[in-house]
Chain A
Amino acid sequence: MKTRNNKAWFLVLPVILVVSFTALIPLMTVANYSLQDVFSPDNRLFVGMKWFYDITNDPLIINAFQRSFQFSIQALLIQIPLGIAIARIMPKSGWKASAALVAVSIPLIIPFNVIGSTWLIFSRKDIGLGGFLLNKLFDFDFTSDPKDGWGLILTVDVWHWTPLVVLLVYAGLRSIPQAYYQAAAIDGASSFAVFRYVELPKLRRVLLIALLLRFMDSFMIYTEPFVITGGGPGDATTFASILLTNIAVGQFDVGRAGAYSLIFFLLIQIMSFIFYTVLTLQDREEETKTK
C-alpha cells in the first residue's frame, strides 16, 4: 500500500524539531524538578521517587483525578451526540449555511476568561438571566450547592465546546457522496438506519479527532472553573488541573507539582491511547485484509 521510504523522515523532521523545542525541553525540565525538592534555584535536594509516592497516596489528589475523569466522561457523553445531532440538522448550502457556520463558531473564539466571567454574571441568581430563570424552577445557587456548581461548569463546557464537534462532524457529513443516501432511500431505510449504517461509519475518522480533542481538553479544564467557582463549592469542582495549579503557583512546590503533572500527562496519554487504539481497530483490520 504505502511506499516504504525512510527519506520521508526529512519531511517530518521540521515538525519534530519544533515540537521537541516547544514541548520536550520543558517536559525534561519538569521531569528534572519532579525528582527534587526545590527550595530556591540554588538550593535543591534530590529526593528520588518521593513525590511520586506521595501523590499516588494522597486522597486529595486521587479525588481530584476521579472528579476530572467523571467530568470528562459526562462532557463526552453529552457533547459528542449533541454535536452530531446539531450537525445533522444544520443548513447545507446558501447564505443559511454561512450564517449557521459563523453562529456555531462564536463560542469557540471567545477567550476562556471572558467565557468564565460572562457565565459567572449570567448564572448569578440575583443579577443574571440564567440564574434568575433557573431559580423560578428550583433553588439554584452555584455558589453554595455543589451539584449546581458541577452542573454549571458542565453546562459551560458543553456550551463552549460542542461547536467544535459540530464543525468537525458537519465537515465530515458534507463529504459523504449523495449516492449513499439515494441507495439508502431506495432500500426504504429509516432516518436512524441512514445514520447508523451510512453516516456513522463514514464519520469514524472525524469522530476520532473530535473525541480525542474533547477528552484531552475537558480532562485538563482549568480557566472556567477557576473563574466561575474557584474549585468550589467545597471542593466540588476542584479538578486535577486546579489542584495542580494551587500546588505549583500557590504553594510554589515545584518538585511536587512536577511529579504531579508527569502523572497527569501519563494518565491522559494512556486513556487517549486506549481511545485511539479502539477506534482505529477497524481501520487496521481493513488494512491487513487489503495487504
Chain B
Amino acid sequence: MKKSDSLVKGAFSPQKKKRSLPWSGFIFWLVIAIWMIPVAWLILMSVRPSADILGSFEIIPHRFTFDGYRDFILKDMWYKAYLNSLTYSTLNTIFSVTLALPAAYAFSRFSFTGDKHLFFWLLTNRMAPAAVFLLPFYNMYNAVGLFDKTLGVAIAHMLFNVPLAVWILEGFISGIPRQVDETAAIDGYSLPKFFVKIFLPMIRSGIGVTAFFCFMFSWVELLIARTITSTDAKPISAAMTRTVSSAGTDWTLLSTAGVMTIIPGILAIWFVRKYIAKGFALGRV
C-alpha cells in the first residue's frame, strides 16, 4: 500500500497541485485572523485598568496596567487554584484514558451480551444537564469523603470524559486489523502482554488525541468542579467568580486569569499536534 502510494504520488503530483484552490491558504489564515479577534480582545482587556475597560472604547489603550498579572502570580489564591485545576485535569486524563483503553478494545474486538446498548448508554451519560445533578453530586462526594479534594473532581469529571474516551479510542482500535491480534496470540503473547507491548504503541496517536480532549473538557468544566470543592481544591474557574465583589467585577484580573488559562491548553495541544495531524491515520473513519 505504502509503496504504490509513493509511486503514484510522484507520477501525478501536477494534477494534485491543480486540484487545490489557489486562495485556500490565504482564506484559511484570514479565517484564523478573524477567529483570533476575541482572543486579542481578551489579552487587551488583561492589560487595561478595569475602569478603562468599562469607561471607553479604545483599540490602542491610553494607559496600561500589569496589576492583573502581578496579582495573579503573587496572590496565593490564584496560584493554588491554578495548580488545583492542573492537578485534577491531569489526573482525570490519566484515569479516563487508562480505564477506557480496555473497554474500547473490548467494544471493538468482541461481541458480548448487550454490547451495542452499553456502547450507546455510555455516551448518554454526557447528556445529563448538570444543574440539577449538582445537589446529588454535593451530597454524594461529601458522603464518600471526596469533597474538596482534587481527586474528587478528577473522578467526577470521568462522568463525561470516560464515555468520550471510549468512543474515540474505539474508532482508532477498530482501524487496526484483527490479524495483528491473531498473529500475536500465535506467537504466544498473553492478552495483557500483547496489549501493552504491541498494541499500545500502535494506537499512540489515538491516545494522544483522546488525552487532549479529556484534558480540555476537564480544564474548562466549571459547574461540577465548583460544586464539590470549597477552599482546598478550588479550581481556577471558581476562583474567577471571586473577582466579582461589592465594588463590581475586576475585569482586568478576570481577563488575566483567562489569558493564563490558555497556556496549559496550548501546551497540551502542542504535545499532541503530530498525533492529531496523523491522528486517525489508523482510525476507522
Contacts and interface: CB of A to CB of B under 8 A. Distances in A.
30 contacts: A2-B109, A3-B109, A8-B106, A18-B158, A19-B158, A21-B155, A26-B133, A27-B128, A86-B31, A88-B24, A90-B28, A91-B28, A101-B277, A103-B32, A103-B35, A105-B216, A105-B269, A108-B216, A121-B41, A127-B53, A128-B57, A170-B277, A172-B283, A177-B5, A182-B8, A182-B9, A186-B12, A186-B15, A205-B171, A261-B129
A137 interface: no
Interface stretch (B66-74, B196-204, B233-241): B233-241
B166 A172 contact: no
B167 to A, nearest CB: 6
A171 interface: yes
A291 B183 CA distance: 23
B131 A241 contact: yes
A288 interface: no
Given A89-B21, A109-B266, A223 B222 contact: yes
Nearest to B114: A9
State which size class the interface on A falls in. Answer: 35 or more
Contacts, number: 319
A88 B103 CA distance: 32
Nearest to A26: B136
A86 B57 contact: no
A93 interface: yes
Contacts of A12: 102-103, 106-107, 112, 118
Contacts of A100: 28, 32
Interface in A197-245: 202-206, 209, 212-213, 216, 220, 222-223, 240-241, 244-245
Given A23-B159, A254-B135, A159 B129 contact: no
A97 interface: yes
A69 interface: no
Interface in B259-278: 261-262, 264-266, 268-270, 273-274, 276-278
Interface in B4-59: 4-5, 8-9, 12, 15-16, 19, 21, 24-25, 27-28, 31-32, 35-39, 41-42, 45, 53-57, 59
B125 A113 contact: no
Given A101-B269, A257-B131, 6 more contacts: A118-B258, A171-B280, A175-B280, A175-B282, A206-B285, A248-B131
